[in-house]
Amino acid sequence: MFTEQQVLKALHHVQDPELNRSIVDLNMVRNIQIRGNSLSLLVVLTIQGCPLKAKIQQDIEQALHEIGFQQVQLSFGSMTDEERQTLTASLRKASTTETGMPTLLKPESGVTFIAVTSGKGGVGKTTVTINLAVSLAKRGKKVGILDADIYGFSVPVMMGITEKPTMIDQTAIPVQKRGVSVMSMGFFSPDNAPVMWRGPMLNKWIRNFLANTYWGDLDYLLLDLPPGTGDVAIDVAAMIPQAKEIVVTTPHQAASYVATRAGVMAKHTKHHIAGVVENMAYLEEKSGNKLYLFGKGGGDQLAERLQTDVIARIPFEPVKEDSPTSIADSESAVGEAFDVLAETLDVTIKS
d(CA 8, CA 14): 10
Confidence of residue 340 (pLDDT cuts 50, 70, 90): very high
Number of H helices and E strands in the chain, helices first, is 10, 17
Among the listed residues 212, 234, 231, 209, the one whose alpha carbon sits nearest the alpha carbon of residue 222: 209
Residue 132's pLDDT is: 97
d(CA 120, CA 141): 30
pLDDT tens figures, 151-163: 888 999 999 998 8
pLDDT tens figures, 52-67: 889 999 999 999 999 9
Among the listed residues 169, 168, 135, 141, the one whose alpha carbon sits nearest the alpha carbon of residue 314: 135
Residue 251's pLDDT is: 95
d(CA 96, CA 93): 6
Point out which residues pair with 21 in neighbouring strands.
16
Q: Quick check: pTM over 0.85?
A: no
d(CA 38, CA 36): 6
Number of Cα atoms under 13 Å in the Cβ half of residue 2: 23
Domains of the chain in start order, with CATH, are 4-79 (3.30.300.130), 103-350 (3.40.50.300)
Confidence of residue 10 (pLDDT cuts 50, 70, 90): very high
Non-local CB neighbours of 244 within 8 Å, separated by 6+ positions = 112, 113, 114, 115, 271, 272, 273, 274, 349
Q: With a cut of 70, say whether residue 196 has pLDDT above it.
A: no
Confidence of residue 113 (pLDDT cuts 50, 70, 90): very high
DSSP string covering 262-273: HHHHHHHTT-EE
Q: What value does the mean pLDDT take over residues 120-141? A: 94
pLDDT tens figures, 23-52: 999 999 999 999 999 999 999 998 887 778
Among the listed residues 252, 254, 253, 276, the one whose alpha carbon sits nearest the alpha carbon of residue 263: 276
Q: With a cut of 60, say whether residue 197 has pLDDT above it.
A: no
d(CA 26, CA 10): 15
Confidence of residue 121 (pLDDT cuts 50, 70, 90): confident
Non-local CB neighbours of 135 within 8 Å, separated by 6+ positions = 335, 338, 339, 341, 342
pLDDT tens figures, 72-83: 999 999 999 898
CB atoms within 10 A of CB 213: 21
Q: What value does the mean pLDDT take over residues 316-342? A: 87
